[in-house]
Amino acid sequence: MYVIVNIRNEVIVTMIQVMKASEVRQQWSQLLNKVFRNETRVVVEKSGIPVAAVISAEDLKRFTQLEEQRKERFKALDRMRESFKNVPVEEVEREIKKAITEVRAEKRSKK
């Protein structure tokens, strides 16, 4: 499997390898070099079950940033949910449908 990664405006194709834990131990030094050079990412399996992944520090930084963004977005959803906690679901759905209809009508009138 290959993944396209955008690093410093460069498009790099990175392979994802699935390897047994015993193979990873034997090839650790070479794998670290490949991961560092963004040539591969490694999924480590134990008895056929994925148990870990080896990714570059740069990939980890990107993953951590995406995770933080996700947390912030869910906080916004939680705030919205809290604002409407005492409103019946049917009423919320009716208002959403009404708002969508109004936005679509407005967009059609601008064409």
pLDDT in tens, 76-90: 888 888 888 899 989
Q: Are residues 23 and 48 in the same domain?
A: yes
Give the tokens for residue 21.
């834990």
- Residues 45 and 9 both lie in one domain: yes
What phi and psi values does residue 52 have, to the nearest 5 degrees? -160, 170
How many domains, the chain?
2
Same domain, residue pair 49 and 72: no
Q: Are residues 67 and 83 in the same domain?
A: yes
- State the residue range of the domain holding 24: 2-55
pTM more than 0.85:
no
Amino acid at 22: S
pLDDT 10s digits, 48-57: 999 999 999 9
CA 68 to CA 75: how far, in whole Å? 11
**Exposure b/e, 29-59, CB count within 10 A at least 16 = b:** eebeebbeebebbbbbbeeeeeeeebbbeeb
18 and 51 assigned to the same domain: yes
